[in-house]
Amino acid sequence: MKKERLIKEINSGIERIMAEGADFCDARYYTEDSSETLTLYDGNLESNETTFESGLGVRVLYKGAWGFAASSREVAPAVTFKNAFSNAKTASRLVTVPLKMDLNPPVRGKYFSPVVEDPLNIPLEAKLAFLEDLDKKLQGTHIEHRIIEINLQRMHNFYWNSEGSFIERKLINCFAGSTVMALDSDGKMQMRSKVLHTPGHGTRGWEMVTKPELWSGRAEGIKEELARLLEAPELDFGKRSVILLPGQGMLQVHETIGHPLELDRILGYELSYAGGSFVRLESIGQLRYGSEKLNVSAYGSIANSPGSFGFDDEGTPERDYLLIDKGILVNCLTSRAMISEVNQVAGRQVFDQSGGASRSTAFYRAPIDRMTNVSILPGNDGNLDRIISATEDGLVLDNPKSWSIGSNREHFHFSCEIAWEVKDGRITRVLKNPTYQGHTLEFYANLNAVGDSSTWVVEQVPNCGKGEPNQLMEIGHGVPVLRFENVITGERV
Amino acid sequence: MLDQKIPDTIIKVRDSAAKKGVKALFRMHREKSHLIRIGNNSVSLNTSEDLTRLDVEVIDGRREGSCTLLGDLEGPGIIENALQVAVTKAAVATPKVYEPIERVIENEIEEENQFDQAIEELDSGLKVDTYSAIMKSVGEDYNYSGSWSSGSTEIFLSGTANDKFAWRIGTDQQFNSVLKHPEEKWELADFQSGWQVGDVTAEATVEKYLDLIEVFKKPGIRVEPGRYTVLFGAQALAEILQMLIWTGLHGRHHEEKIGWMSEKKAGDTILSDKITIIDDPANLHTFSFGFDLNGLSRHTFPFIEEGVLKNLFYDLDTAGKYGKKPTPHSGSLSAVMRAGEGLTNPFEAARNMGRVLYIPALHYINIPNMSKGLFTGSSRFSAILLEDGEAAGPIFSTRITDTFQNVFSNVEILSRANLSANVSNTYGRRMPEAFAVPSYMISNEVKITDSAESFQ
């Protein structure tokens, strides 16, 4: 279908639905949602995949209930509008607190990710040559397996709503990682990896993937660290300090700050799948989430991140605001309907505006409250060396191997690839199979050192899972080096 | 059902490709999905999607390339374009050191034995009525959540290796309901699964809730770390089983010594002799697929029999790389864990066992150490401390961190009843998956490593 005709049909669809009594209606049309995945496993190209998605998603609010419909068939815009409206009408039969979209002025704008070289326009041969070169660098006599994976994304979509908003976005994401593996002295597999991060600034096209300092330049480093893991003793169970490098700190902030602060979780809309949150509405402005060293922002005006997207999927411009200020919870990750419900239930204005965190992974999924860039702000405790030198008994931990979190995010258990033991201010040896666990508020209360801006990088998350139907979302986390004391580490015998 | 135009076009493009010597598999996937979500006693989302995907996978000597389209496949030249993208990618791909295995449709097959048109067209009003009935019957003072996914999945496979095609259409539904006490914060849940109308009922959920609510009026109990006898419910068992299969029985993990069974070989005893796990696509507690997504015909396939390792499963890449025969396990597995001889009522089964933790479902299972078979996850819904089979009270969120070997070697009792446990997710495309598992399993010496006062 011609683009002009489609736009006309979408606009008339919105008008028709509103004329028939809907409270709000929006539509997202993706002309393109493409990605390319290349995986070299022991030098064999196991994935050489291009995907292309295109279609229309329509959301209708009717008498306080959402209906949504999507179709990949271009001939079907009118049917998609009809189905969404019909779904909303049925949903409205069971409503206790009617959802509302307080009237907003129309938003018109464009957002294009900052890019020099569109990664999907780079010839495949050039991309493979880059990966093959990196694969050679990962080879070594002690290396049993090598895995390199890149995932390159380009999305072009248009947004309309019944308030007159119209937004065009072109988003580019580049994700990459490399892993080396080998058997340790007990015959068990160990791994060490490096994932592409961003400095937070600059552009995020193919040029980012090829910058050695962001990823590929760590090939020798991860091989050497793996060699040390192979001979390393196992971490013993016990309480000690842990120093999280950004590769691990990003998981910590993601699971125990980001997810608990999603307002739909706090309100109980995720109970049947992802779980709830220990945070309550009355916690906002009151709850001591962590020590005074803990400052956390949403979005953070980070130019180069998968969590930077200009406008969310209900047309709200991305906002820069604090979630936690000197350890006190001050805000949440919010969308328009969720803040309206909170204000309605509380009988006062708990939130004055949406946090611009309503996001959808594809045209065929309805937006839900998601993380943007949830970042721990740099502190003033110096660089990694200085933090280590001020640590009596601890571990430096990097890169997640597993994560398991309580259903209200009140407790967690993480395992990591590697630990460096710290005794009396010095790294003494490498330890294998590190794990640590804790209870969220107690853990952050024990945050006693936050690295300066020299330690801060933006780690990329390509696959945050949430929602039903399930959605994978791209997120960024700016994280400095962090130290926590009195942490349970290792496994009980 | 799919408009015949798309399969016809696929066959035309396939024939043309075969004439040019192109080796390709075409996999069409159409879903008509519907999901209703409940939150705070309201419908929070009522959604339907009509999506058609096409995967084209091409082998060019030792090179491979693939293309997936989700869009309007009826447009002119769309399917041919997808083939060309895959052909072009394969032409410049890095060659593998091994010969890729061509995808061959083994048998011509058409399946619709698990298709109920009434599910494909299910009125979402019926779902609203079901949740409303649960709320009215159990009490509207509680906070209710849930989701109910239903729909149809249609798969059409055709490849250049021969003229055969494989086609299946089936329906499935996955229901869950959560009841939360608004002040005390404890949560009960119920899970139901099936493929036809009538498989999900409000009555089944109401009965379970009413049985448990009295227990949850007792104060919450915090379980201290240590070794406990644990009674796993069907949903918890299915979730652990899914992880056990992936980490222990995947040929890749075995060949490359990544998994916890990598030092074992067929014939070795690895778990309790009470444990038999097979893939049985004929089992009606599972979603029955007669072929896998690469066109291999599926049949009964034993993984573990009476604790003894029988077979591993191999994907095409692993089979090609290690000179093995690929097994028909791409897509939805029909894992069946054989039932035992235990009484049907789990509380009666635990009557003379002293202190037992009843954990019907686990939240967020993950694998801290795959080589060692170490998994972790925490209790959530409906978890209870039993004293000689009597409910002493609900337990707070309690973390298990233990090995598959320990939990499945120290099995005391397996229920004599098998249930269907739905383990599907809705990331990406619809692909229903359900396991047949005993309604409970009691294991001794299970390691509890943490707990939190989660009811506050």
Q: Are residues A325 and A196 in the same domain?
A: no
pLDDT for A234 beyond 60: yes
As a whole number of angstroms, the distance between CA A458 and CA A210 comes to 17
Optimal mutation site among A85, A156, A408, interface B, most CBs of chain B within 10 A: A408
Distance, in Å, from the CA atom of B324 to the CA atom of B317, rounded to the nearest integer, reads 10
Prior bond to B368 cis, omega within 30? no
Please tell me whether residues A198 and A260 are part of one structural domain.
no
Task: Tell me the average pLDDT across B233-253.
Answer: 97
Using DSSP's 3-state secondary structure scheme, residue B237 falls into helix
Rounded Cα gap, residues A320 and A308, in angstroms:
11
Residues A351 and A367 in one domain: yes
The CA-based angle B300-B305-B310, given to 5 degrees, is: 75
Cross-strand bridge partners of residue A177 = A149, A195
Instruction: Give residues 262 to 301 of A whose Cβ lies within 8 Å of B.
Output: 264, 267-273, 275-276
The fraction of chain B above a pLDDT of 90, given in percent, is 95
> Could you give the angle at which helices B124-138 and B202-213 cross, rounded to 10 degrees?
20
Residue of A1 and A110 predicted with greater confidence: A110
Whole-number pLDDT of residue B1? 64
CA B248/CA B373 separation, integer angstroms: 8
Using one digit for the tens of pLDDT, what is the confidence trace for A296-315? 999 989 999 999 999 999 99
B342 and B440 in contact (C-beta within 8 Å)?
yes
Range with the poorest average pLDDT among A3-7, A50-54, A201-205, B398-402:
A3-7
B453 pLDDT band, cuts 50/70/90, is: confident
Place of tokens 């798309």: B6
If phi > 0 it is left, if psi is from -120 to 50 it is alpha, else beta; for residue B213 that is alpha
Q: How confident is the model at residue A4 (pLDDT cuts 50, 70, 90)?
A: confident
Chain A hits for B243, CB-CB cut-off 8 Å, are: none
HEC profile of chain A:
CCHHHHHHHHHHHHHHHHHCCCCEEEEEEEEEEEEEEEEEECCEEEEEEEEEEEEEEEEEEECCEEEEEEECCCCCHHHHHHHHHHHHHHHCCCCCCCCCCCCCCCCEEEEECCCCCCCCCCCHHHHHHHHHHHHHHHCCCCCCEEEEEEEEEEEEEEEEECCCCEEEEEEEEEEEEEEEEEECCCCCEEEEEEECEECCCCCCCHHHHCCHHHCHHHHHHHHHHHHHHHCCCECCCEEEEEEECHHHHHHHHHHHHHHHHEHHHHHCCCCCCCCCCCCCHHHCCCCECCCCCCCEEECCCCCCCCCCCCECCCCCECCCEEEEECCEECCCECCHHHHHHHHHHHCCCCCCCCCCCEECCCCCCCCEECCCEEEECCCCCCCHHHHHHCCCEEEEEEEEEEEEECCCCCEEEEEEEEEEEEECCEEEEEEECCEEEEEHHHHHHCEEEECCHHHCEEEEEEEEEECCCCEEEEEEEEECCEEEEEEEECCCC
- CB-nearest to B35 from A96, A465, A468 is A468
Per-residue model confidence (pLDDT) at position B185: 83
Q: Find out whether A240 and A438 touch, Cβ atoms under 8 Å.
A: no
- Do A398 and A263 lie in one domain? The reply is yes
Nearest to B367 among A46, A54, A402 (CB): A402
Compute the average pLDDT of residues B204-217. 94
Q: Which domain holds residue A338?
A: 238-489
- CB contacts < 8 A, A to B, total 287
**Residue B27 confidence (pLDDT) above 90:** yes
Q: Using CA atoms, how far apart are residues A488 and A168, in angstroms rounded to an integer? A: 48
Do residues B153 and B169 make contact, with C-beta atoms less than 8 angstroms apart? yes
Average pLDDT, chain A: 96
DSSP B415: B
Note the pLDDT of residue A326: 98
In the structure, what pLDDT confidence band is assigned to residue A1 with cuts at 50, 70 and 90?
Answer: low
pLDDT over 90 at A16, yes or no: yes
Domain boundary among A183, A205, A230: A230
Q: What is the pLDDT of residue A6?
A: 87
Decide if pLDDT at A209 tops 70. Answer: yes
Residue B74: predicted pLDDT: 83
User: Which residue of chain A is at minimal alpha-carbon distance from B78?
Assistant: A52
List, as ranges, residues 388-427 from A with C-beta within 8 Å of B: 401-408, 410-411, 413, 415
Give residue B456's pLDDT: 56
- Pair (A423, A485) in one structural domain: yes
How far apart CA B456 and CA B453 sit, in angstroms, is 7
Closest CA to B134 of B120, B149, B148: B148
| CATH code of residue A12 | 3.30.2290.10
Quick one: pLDDT band at residue A94, thresholds 50, 70, 90? very high
**pLDDT tens readout for residues A412-466:** 999 999 999 999 999 999 999 999 999 999 999 999 999 999 999 999 999 999 9
Assigned token pair, A491: 């496994």
Identify the CA nearest to B194 among candidates B39, B443, B421, B444: B421
Q: Are residues A444 and A365 in the same domain?
A: yes
Per-residue pLDDT tens digits for B92-104: 999 999 999 999 9
CA angle B96, B97, B101 (to 5 degrees): 65
Contact across the interface for B39 and A269, Cβ inside 8 Å: yes
Counted domains in chain A: 2
Question: In Å, what is the CA distance from B100 to each residue of A323, B63, B105?
Answer: 51, 8, 16
Q: Does A111 touch chain B (CB under 8 A)?
A: no
Contact across the interface for B366 and A44, Cβ inside 8 Å: no
B101 to chain A nearest CA, in Å? 12
Instruction: Please identify among residues 346-365 of chain A the ones whose CB lies closer than 8 Å to any CB of chain B.
Output: 364
Q: Which of residues 233-252 of A touch B (CB under 8 A)?
A: none
One domain, residues A22 and A163: yes
Cα–Cα dist A40/A32, whole Å: 26
Residues of CATH 3.30.2290.10 domain(s) within chain B? 5-213
Tokens 């494909």 belong to residue: B120
Which residue type, as a one-letter code, is found at position A146?
A: R
Judgement on whether residues A204 and A251 belong to the same structural domain of the protein: no
**Domain C-terminal end among A184, A208, A230:** A230
Evaluate if residue B388 carries a pLDDT over 80.
yes
Q: Tell me, yes or no, whether A272 and A411 share the same domain.
A: yes
Domain B5-213 has CATH 3.30.300.30: no
For residue B309, what are its two tokens? 């390792």
List, in sequence order, every residue forming a beta bridge with B65; answer none if it has no partner: B58
Which of A185, A208, A230 is the last residue before a domain boundary? A230
B156-190 per-position pLDDT tens digit: 999 999 999 999 999 999 999 999 999 888 999 99
A342-374 per-position pLDDT tens digit: 998 888 999 999 999 999 999 999 999 999 999
ipTM of the complex: 0.96
Tell whether A72 is within 8 A of chain B (Cβ).
yes
Residue B41: what pLDDT?
Answer: 96
SS3 B198: coil
Is B49's CB within 8 Å of A70's CB? Answer: yes
pLDDT above 70 as % of chain B? 99
What gap in Å lies between CA A45 and CA B344, rounded to an integer? Answer: 50
* Whether pLDDT at B202 is above 60: yes
Looking at the fold, whether A222 and A297 belong to one and the same domain comes out as no
- Partners of residue B397 on adjacent β-strands: B452
Q: What does the pLDDT look like over B427-436, one tens digit per residue?
A: 889 999 999 9
Burial of A249 (0-12, 13-18, 19+ CB in 10 A): buried
**B34, B35, B94, B378: best mutation site toward chain A, by most A Cβ within 10 Å?**
B94
Question: Could you tell me where the beta strands, DSSP code E, fall in B61-198?
Answer: 63-70, 109-111, 143-159, 165-180, 187-194
Residue of B187, B365, B450 with shortest CB distance to A411: B450
* pTM strictly above 0.90: yes
pLDDT of residue A493: 82
Mean pLDDT along residues B149-160: 97
Specify whether A103 is located in the same domain as A224: yes
- Are residues A351 and A414 located together in one domain of the fold? yes
Determine phi and psi for B407, rounding to 5 degrees.
-65, -40
Q: CA quadruple B267, B269, B274, B279: dihedral positive or negative?
A: negative
Does the pLDDT of residue B384 top 60, yes or no?
A: yes
Q: Average pLDDT, whole number, for chain B?
A: 96
Q: Does B269 score more than 90 pLDDT?
A: yes
Whether A108 contacts chain B with CB within 8 A? no
Q: Do B96 and A468 touch (CB under 8 A)?
A: no
Q: How far apart are the first and last CA of chain A?
A: 64
pLDDT of residue B2: 66
**pLDDT tens for each residue of A367-393:** 999 999 999 999 999 999 999 999 999
The pLDDT value recorded for residue B55 is 98
The mean per-residue pLDDT over the stretch B118-132 comes to 96
Q: Which pLDDT score is estimated for A216?
A: 96
pLDDT at position B454 over 80: no
